[in-house]
Amino acid sequence: MTKNRVFICTLLALSSGFFGGYVGGQITLMLHSQKCQNQPWGMKELCNAWVSPGAIWQGSTTGIWTGTILGAFAGGLVIRSDRH
């Protein structure tokens, strides 16, 4: 029974981390892309191409860490509530 609990907690933490990474990357990309909105058309495309990789990396890294920690905490609460 203990292995199932560890598996559930791990699965919840990892899936939450990956979801957090995706959402964090998208949010950070949107925020960084707003800096390029006041540029003329050609410069806007170059600005977006320059900003996108760093924004996605920064946001997804933060999202993975935050999502994994929160997912592990939630998984611990779910597993703990099973033991009465």
Confidence tier at 83 by pLDDT (50, 70, 90): low
pLDDT tens figures, 31-77: 988 988 888 988 989 998 999 999 999 999 999 999 999 999 988 88
pTM: 0.78
Burial class (CB in 10 A: 0-12, 13-18, 19+), 53: exposed
Comparing C-alpha atoms, which of 52, 59, 47, 50 is closest to residue 23?
59
Q: What is the pLDDT of residue 1?
A: 59
- Number of neighbours of residue 77 by Cβ within 10 angstroms: 11
